Chain A
Amino acid sequence: MNRIETRFNNLAQQGKTAFVAYITAGDPDLDTTAEIILEMDRCGVDVIECGVPFSDPVADGIVIQEAAQRALAKGASLRKILAMLKGLRDKTDVPILLFSYYNPILAYGIEQFAVDAKAAGVDGVLTVDLPPEEADFYKKCLDEQHLATVFLIAPTSPPERIKLIARISTGFVYYVSRTGVTGVRQDVEASVHGALDEIRKHTNKPIAVGFGISTPEQATEVAGYADGVVVGSAIVRRISELGNAPDTVQKVGAFVKSLVDATKGK
């Protein structure tokens, strides 16, 4: 069992919801990303989604697009991100999920990527634009390294596809709370609760909900029925506003702490 599964299991036994935080690696730079990861661990984040920047992030809204562009301009790459994560493993045990587009992994070589990701202390991978129907070899490589494979279920996914995605997802199942791309939104769609009930007919795996959750109030709402709450753009936007300021890490930590507390019902 890897760190992601263990964390969700432990939380389930305590009747608690996981808080998952996304950041784009390399924005404002990889050293700051490393510090933010350690700070988020101290703040009680359960899983860190570490975003690999891509030139054409079609699943992302403008906040994460711009973060990716800044990170790429600073020279971030999958290889450098793995090296950065490897350097963190003697400092933290926080579960780490890489969030990537498929092409950087293809260019790296899927088999080698799986080996190197494992060696870097990564616990799972979510490849946002890889359809489950095309994922056989990818999944085989990641399974061999005991890396979790997280896939997305959308509000438009029909029952047959929900079954398939739930079956091949390990660690947790990721439910996209709305049709559309990542981004900060005003409210959570009313349909999410019912959608999770529907997915639970097909799987016992934990379900995390993301895309559009931005505030502590929304986190509390979703924590009422989901096994995990994912916040991305709202955190990335904080980081982009603060940039390389001396108190960036501390301020991001304070914001993330408010989301953790809201998720845990504090």
Chain B
Amino acid sequence: MVARTDPAFQETLRDYQRNYVGRPTPLYAAQRLTEHLGGAMVYLKREDLAHTGAHKINNALGQVLLARRMGKKRIIAETGAGQHGVATATAAALCGLECDVYMGTDDIERQKLNVFRMRLLGACVIPVAAGTRTLKDAINEALRDWVTNVRHTHYCLGTVEGPHPFPLICREFQSIIGREARTQILEREGRLPSLLIACVGGGSNAIGLFHDFIPDAQVKMVGVEAGGIAIEPGKHAARFAGGVEGTLHGAYSYVLQDENGQIMSTHSVSAGLDYASVGPEHAHLRDIGRAEYVHVSDQEALDAFQRLANLEGIIPALESAHAIAYACKVVPAMSSQDIVIVNLSGRGDKDVQQAAKFLLAGDDVL
């Protein structure tokens, strides 16, 4: 963690964040969405406008720079929706490092565009056909690769999950989201928001937004999990609704598991939220009552996906659409004096084909 206080490293990171990633990302006042909902003022933190189209680049870039600093020659990553894989492949290309990305075969099927992007960026996408063929199994394979090749390989884990210190490293690089949002909202409104909303898979974009606001007790924070089809075993990924304490991938948190401690399969329309555990810091924030965690269904997320496209001309990632969906539920009942910041963690180009299957069912699509 010496890099945290190394001025040269921090200067390199800042330079890339500004001139390569395009930070700070805008804090956009969503006027039409606000008028449509008729309650609090809604701002969108536009992480979808960061290079590669999601917040994932914040962590990937930081970790790949760390890996270069440590003298590692090779980067590996897991990916669910493909956004972290694309971000890692991008950072590895930028730093001239070899890159292999593990991805479940189910996710490869629903995120073909991102698979192609990774290959274009020079990364090798390694299919994982084991277990549930999603993010969990991609992490299993990445961990196996890492323990085997640890001397020359860095595992760039994409969320605030996994063994210590991964949750802290990822938070460190994602917390720029909340720091920027604070500065931006104070400039625009002269006061802090009353509510922050972010989707939670592993929980990196949520921790990124929340972290800087944790000491501000008046700022309410809500994480939105994937409610999937129903809160029944195997049909959702709402760990706080259906999980109990356990360990998965080296972290103690809420885990969807059976009575024998076997990890259960999960479901979400969005690959990036389809994971049986949740970042341990989220479990902590919930247990101490600092943050609240809710879930919205696949259908609600798809409705929000369409609504934001229609009202604001922004196609959100299906992951981020979960946060939008929850905003649509609660904002109408809030006061016009309230300010809500929704983390628009990624853009939805990657999801267009998947969404079309649901939204245009019966039509002759694509």
Residues from chain A with Cβ under 8 Å of B244 in the complex: 107
Bound state CA distance, A56 and B137, in angstroms?
A: 8
Residues from chain B with Cβ under 8 Å of A129 in the complex: 247, 250
B357 at the interface (CB under 8 A from A): no
Q: Check if B248 sits within 8 Å of A56, measured CB to CB.
A: yes
Contact of B144 among A58, A69, A77, A107 (CB under 8 A): A58
Bound state CA distance, A129 and B246, in angstroms?
A: 13
Q: 30 A-B Cβ contacts within 8 A?
A: A54-B261, A55-B131, A55-B263, A56-B136, A56-B248, A56-B263, A58-B140, A58-B143, A58-B144, A58-B249, A59-B144, A59-B147, A65-B130, A69-B131, A72-B262, A77-B260, A102-B247, A103-B247, A103-B262, A103-B263, A105-B261, A106-B245, A107-B246, A129-B247, A129-B250, A179-B147, A179-B150, A180-B144, A181-B144, A181-B147
Residues from chain A with Cβ under 8 Å of B151 in the complex: 156, 179
The 8 A-B residue pairs with the shortest CB-CB distance in the complex, in nearest-first order: A107-B261, A180-B148, A104-B261, A77-B260, A103-B261, A55-B262, A55-B263, A58-B143
Total contacts A to B, CB within 8 angstroms? 71
Chain A residues close to B by CB (< 8 Å): 54-59, 61, 65, 69, 72, 77-79, 102-108, 129, 131, 154, 156, 179-181
B169 at the interface (CB under 8 A from A): no
Nearest chain A CB to B76 CB, angstrom units: 14
Bound state CA distance, A103 and B90, in angstroms?
A: 35
Name A104's closest neighbour in chain B (CB-CB).
Answer: B261
Given contacts A57-B140, A103-B262, 19 further A-B contacts (CB under 8 A): A56-B140, A56-B249, A58-B140, A58-B249, A59-B144, A65-B130, A69-B131, A77-B262, A78-B260, A103-B255, A103-B263, A106-B245, A106-B261, A108-B261, A131-B163, A156-B150, A179-B147, A179-B150, A180-B147
Bound state CA distance, A219 and B101, in angstroms?
A: 36
Bound state CA distance, A155 and B121, in angstroms?
A: 34
Per-residue CB contact flags for chain B residues 240-273 toward chain A (1 = under 8 Å, else 0) read: 0000111111100001010111110000000000
Name B136's closest neighbour in chain A (CB-CB).
Answer: A56
Bound state CA distance, A197 and B244, in angstroms?
A: 44
Interface centre among A54, A57, A107, A181 (most CB of B within 10 A): A107
Nearest chain B CB to A181 CB, angstrom units: 5
B12 at the interface (CB under 8 A from A): no
Bound state CA distance, A56 and B163, in angstroms?
A: 15
Residues from chain A with Cβ under 8 Å of B257 in the complex: 103, 107
B31 at the interface (CB under 8 A from A): no
- Interface secondary structure of B, over-half rule: mixed
Contact of B246 among A65, A106, A156 (CB under 8 A): A106
Bound state CA distance, A156 and B153, in angstroms?
A: 13
Q: Check if B255 sits within 8 Å of A61, measured CB to CB.
A: no
Q: Check if B131 sits within 8 Å of A56, measured CB to CB.
A: yes
Nearest chain A CB to B102 CB, angstrom units: 12
Per-residue CB contact flags for chain B residues 159-202 toward chain A (1 = under 8 Å, else 0) read: 00001000000000000000000000000000000000000000
Residues from chain A with Cβ under 8 Å of B249 in the complex: 56, 58
Nearest chain B CB to A51 CB, angstrom units: 14
Bound state CA distance, A161 and B144, in angstroms?
A: 21
Residues from chain B with Cβ under 8 Å of A102 in the complex: 247
B149 at the interface (CB under 8 A from A): yes
Residues from chain A with Cβ under 8 Å of B137 in the complex: 56
Nearest chain A CB to B332 CB, angstrom units: 41
Residues from chain B with Cβ under 8 Å of A57 in the complex: 140
Residues from chain B with Cβ under 8 Å of A156 in the complex: 150-151
Q: Check if B246 sits within 8 Å of A103, measured CB to CB.
A: yes
Name A130's closest neighbour in chain B (CB-CB).
Answer: B247
Bound state CA distance, A261 and B326, in angstroms?
A: 66
Residues from chain B with Cβ under 8 Å of A103 in the complex: 246-248, 255, 257, 261-263
**Given that A55-B131, A58-B144, A179-B149 are known contacts, is A79 also in contact with B260, CB under 8 Å in the complex?**
yes
Bound state CA distance, A155 and B96, in angstroms?
A: 29
Nearest chain B CB to A189 CB, angstrom units: 12
**Given that A61-B144, A180-B144, A181-B144 are known contacts, is A104 also in contact with B149, CB under 8 Å in the complex?**
no
Residues from chain B with Cβ under 8 Å of A106 in the complex: 245-247, 261
Nearest chain A CB to B137 CB, angstrom units: 8
Nearest chain A CB to B274 CB, angstrom units: 15
Chain B contacts with A in 95-150, Cβ cutoff 8 A: 130-131, 136-137, 140, 143-144, 147-150
Name A80's closest neighbour in chain B (CB-CB).
Answer: B260
Residues from chain B with Cβ under 8 Å of A181 in the complex: 144, 147-148
Q: Check if B260 sits within 8 Å of A179, measured CB to CB.
A: no
Residues from chain A with Cβ under 8 Å of B245 in the complex: 106
Name B244's closest neighbour in chain A (CB-CB).
Answer: A107
Bound state CA distance, A77 and B257, in angstroms?
A: 13
Bound state CA distance, A179 and B148, in angstroms?
A: 5
Bound state CA distance, A105 and B260, in angstroms?
A: 8
Nearest chain A CB to B152 CB, angstrom units: 11
Bound state CA distance, A19 and B245, in angstroms?
A: 37
Residues from chain A with Cβ under 8 Å of B144 in the complex: 58-59, 61, 180-181
Contact of A107 among B130, B131, B260 (CB under 8 A): B260
Name A61's closest neighbour in chain B (CB-CB).
Answer: B144
Nearest chain B CB to A110 CB, angstrom units: 11
Nearest chain A CB to B349 CB, angstrom units: 31
Nearest chain A CB to B329 CB, angstrom units: 34
Residues from chain A with Cβ under 8 Å of B260 in the complex: 77-79, 104, 107-108
Nearest chain B CB to A58 CB, angstrom units: 5
Name B132's closest neighbour in chain A (CB-CB).
Answer: A55
Bound state CA distance, A180 and B147, in angstroms?
A: 5
Residues from chain A with Cβ under 8 Å of B255 in the complex: 103
Residues from chain A with Cβ under 8 Å of B263 in the complex: 55-56, 103
Bound state CA distance, A57 and B137, in angstroms?
A: 10
Nearest chain B CB to A160 CB, angstrom units: 17
